[in-house]
Chains A and B, each alone.
Chain A
Amino acid sequence: MSRKTKICAVLNIIFLTLVGYALWIFYQAPKSFNAQELIENSHLKEKTFHKKVEEITSLSGLKAYFMEDSDTSVASLSFYFDNAGYIYSKEGLATLTSEVLLNGAGKYHDEEFNDLLELHGISLSFDVSDETFNGEISFPVQYEKLAASILKSVLTEPLLEEKYIDITKRQMMTALQMQEENPQKILSKAFKKEFFGSHPKSRDALGSVTSVNELSKQDIKDFISSYFSKNNLKIAIAGSLNSHNAKEFIDEAFGSLQNQKKNSEEIPLLQADYHFKDKHIFRNIPQIITLTVAPATTRLSNDFYPLYMANEIFGGADLTSRLNVVAREKEGLTYGAYTSLNTDIDAPRLMGQFSTSVQNQNQMYEVFLQEWNKMALGTITQTELDEVKENMLTSFNLRFTSTAAISSMLLYMQKENLGIDFLQKRNDYVKSVTLDDINRVSQKYYKTKPSFITIGKENERND
């Protein structure tokens, strides 16, 4: 073999080895995960949710938002009485009423009453918020008539036996004492005092041990006769019944309520204190828990969607928010730092919460402020905006999981005055937000330094 041939052979071998090596590398290298391609070629395509929201009016003139759904065999009705929440009456009274209503009505004493519900799979519950007294009833659709008559009975002829009033009062007082075992609860109660001052919104829904102790059967009767009426009632109904049956249900359940709510005491104008002096509560626990508050905007304002998205980017979007990427993922400082947008009409606010070991508190605080200040500079990128929009558009249908979730959503639409066509318009609202909008809003709201309130051992922060 000539030298030349030899060299050729060697070169050949080297060449083939290199090619082989390159191929090997190529096959070993992770095949990049192409999410976009995967979604575009997805076996299951995007579908529109077709069920529609209607406004129905019953024979007696009661209106409700309604969604018919023949793909289930249950139905849910959600409702609230407006201006009947815990700020409008004696402390703890709305909550006491909400509990005692479930202890018998009409011809059914407590025991028969609860048997009737349980044997037919009917669930009935009440709760209160600051502004509203809320109820929800869910039932297998074949017991529609029974469910309607039970609800009517509860709202118009509850038994309110002294025995159950006493039991419930004791349980509420115990629950209030138990709140003092939970640092998170102590913190949020203290926050309400700082933020709402002496306004009734500073109350706890349960009231206080002293106030509950003083409540009487007459108070409950007064509460019901003042607040349960047609003109402050909002109704939503969803599930496997047609509009005719839905109307009948509404008339049966609510038709015998009085027309007009009685005038309640004037509630003083709320002047929430967004700038209260930072406050610390001592508690011998291994972590410091922090709550923050800053001004925000209301649900129907033009700033709502941009600010909602800005909050998502800052701290609302669980693991992927700016705050969690730095504080949790990069630094391991906290199990989670979260922020939310509360659109309370009198006191719209951006709230934040995080907890961390005492020795990490300074760093955690710095991270929070540093990320907050970045927002104030209008630093949201097009990519961040696109991602949050994509999230809001693709998660749109997740609100339709259960019938009860749907009826409570239909009620929320009324509470916030979103309009009957909200579901058709919502995605356009999301799409219309521009980078300029979101950065303008981000600069506007994050320029205010939040107020802080903390609980834990001594707070070593020095500023």
Chain B
Amino acid sequence: MKKYAYLFVFSIFIALISFKANSEIFHADEFYLNNKLRVIVSENHKAPIAKMMLFYKVGSMDEKKGKGGLAHLLEHLMFRGTSNVPASSFNQLMHKNGADFNAFTSKDMTVYHALVDLSRLELVLALEADRMFHLQISDEAFEGEQKIVLEERKERVDNKPKSRFFEDVQKILWQNTPYEHPISGTEDEIKNLSKEDALEVYQTYYTPENAVLVVVGDVTKEDVKILAEKYFALDKKTVKALPEKRSFSVQENGTYTIQKEMADVEVPTMTRSYIIPSVFDNPKKAFAMEVFSHYFGESQNSYIKQHLIKTNLVVDASSSVQTMARGSGVFSVHFIPHAETDIQSYFNLLDKTLKQALADLTPEMIEKEKKKMLSTLVFVKDNPEDEAYILGYLATLGLSLNEIENYPKGIENVTFNDVQKTVLEMLENAKQVTSVLTPLREVSNEPKN
């Protein structure tokens, strides 16, 4: 609710691509309660601590038209009291007991989490369960949090030209899909939300069967089973049938360009994004794109670094890929062009570089890239916070534990042909949006601030 509130959950891929093939990564266990709550446990006995994360499969993509920002506002309201733990007692209890706690909302999900001393895990689970079943929203709390999320939006988006532009670009990239709205909602939308709206989302989506509980730390499966049964097994909540599963894939294949000059922008930037298959649309293609992006613009020796940065054609460049999502995936290339150069020339450079990178690709390069992606596997098990996040994130998207444990196989199985075919297909058919943001050209006679 503070730091990560509407962060795009991209960071997972850095960790994910580090898995080694053909072996279980986490050695995690899972079980379901009678009320269908999915619980995942992984043991990490390095220190007497535990990371608890509760994932609800509801994000900004589930919001009705005009109700933008609702999932995020509800996330804030979850800290404002229940019938058993009124007002801000939740925060006080968590703080007093040394919990490092927070929450965040993305397009796909809403996540509550706490890192705690082992002796306080039961308390944290009891409190988390309590707010799954007994949330109360007072008028005062609702109005307060509405003001707070408006301030949050200003702080994160409106104060920064790049963030405002990013929203415009997302609107075009995800046009006519549930991803087109900003996670925070617009200012007008936030102002028009009501307490009843928030309660409706709570009643509909904050149910055991729409959630995944993850505990990683100095615990056993039995410990967590006892505690989960004790606090989460309630089924008093009037559970409405969940709305139909909301996922989508973009079929459109248009080419769009958005160019803007803005005040307070100092450095020109350029991004090209392609809509690509998610791991649910087509796992083979999704994994192929992950390997390609690593080769093209993520690795320390990426193609871009060798051919664009070292040759001084751009100041800096990189790529990123997101295939683990409820909606479609996206592959992006980011450029920082030289300020004095004509921006149009970079359109050609981008096209040319992507095609050339594909032409220069060899099977050996693919093998090497895969090896790099799997080499840091062991670090995932070194940090219970990373581990809980990855387990819960993938489980919430709907992957089975087996699929999660064997994720590295997906990378390992990628072939040279897969990459060639997938990237070529993307270049020819995928919807693409190129966005260029440049400094406002000074108009004479007007003093510059």
Contacts and interface: CB of A to CB of B under 8 A. Distances in A.
B49 A398 contact: yes
Contacts of B265: 181
Given A111-B306, A118-B375, A181-B160, A394 B301 contact: no
A39 B97 CA distance: 10
Contacts of A47: 48, 118-119, 218
A391 B96 contact: yes
Interface stretch (A279-287, A340-348, A446-454): A279-287
Q: Which of A38, A177, A356 has the most CB of B within 10 A?
A: A38
B46 A72 contact: yes
B84 A30 contact: yes
Interface stretch (A257-265, A302-310, A330-338): A330-338
A73 B92 contact: no
B122 A400 contact: no
Contacts of B377: 121
14 contacts: A33-B85, A38-B126, A39-B123, A43-B226, A44-B223, A46-B117, A47-B218, A48-B48, A121-B18, A121-B379, A170-B315, A319-B91, A329-B144, A394-B120
Contacts of A22: none
B204 to A, nearest CB: 23
A138 B383 CA distance: 13
Contacts of B375: 118-121, 140
A398 B2 CA distance: 19
A404 B376 CA distance: 14
A284 B299 contact: no
Contacts of A138: 379
A320 interface: yes
Given A167-B309, A330-B144, A398-B117, A183 B159 contact: yes
Contact of A282 (B96, B118, B267, B449): B449
A163 B310 contact: yes
Contacts of B45: 71
B29 interface: no
B79 interface: yes
Given A111-B301, A401-B47, 14 more contacts: A33-B84, A33-B85, A43-B227, A71-B46, A181-B264, A318-B2, A333-B151, A355-B154, A391-B95, A392-B98, A395-B98, A396-B98, A397-B118, A401-B49
Interface string B54-90: 0000000000000000000000000100011100110
A171 B315 contact: yes
A72 B152 CA distance: 39
Contacts, number: 239
Given A118-B299, A398-B49, A332 B148 contact: yes
Contacts of B53: none
B388 to A, nearest CB: 11
A73 to B, nearest CB: 5
A131 interface: no
A394 B117 CA distance: 6
A174 interface: yes
Interface in A351-372: 355-357
A329 B119 contact: no
B365 to A, nearest CB: 11
B48 A397 contact: yes
Interface residues of B, number: 88
Interface string B213-249: 0000011000100110000000000000000000000
B2 A387 contact: no
A398 B115 contact: yes
A64 B49 CA distance: 26
Interface string B245-261: 00000000000000000
A157 interface: no
Contacts of B84: 30-33
Given A118-B300, A334-B151, A403-B382, A49 B146 contact: no
Interface string B118-131: 11111100110010
A53 interface: no
A437 interface: no
Q: Which of B84, B96, B161, B382 has the most CB of A within 10 A?
A: B382
Interface string B293-330: 00000011100001001101001100000000000000
Q: Which of A170, A171, A395 has the most CB of B within 10 A?
A: A395
A140 B20 CA distance: 13
Given A177-B267, A183-B160, A320 B98 contact: no
A357 B276 CA distance: 39
A328 interface: yes
B209 interface: no
B441 interface: no
B195 interface: no
Q: Which of A115, A325, A335, A357 has the most CB of B within 10 A?
A: A335
A56 interface: no
Given A49-B48, A318-B2, A332-B148, A283 B264 contact: yes
Contacts of A1: none
A121 B47 CA distance: 24
Contacts of A177: 266-267
A117 interface: yes
Contacts of B127: 33
Interface in B33-47: 44-47
Contacts of B150: 357
Contacts of B405: none
Nearest to A386: B96
A82 B79 CA distance: 44
B401 interface: no
A218 interface: no
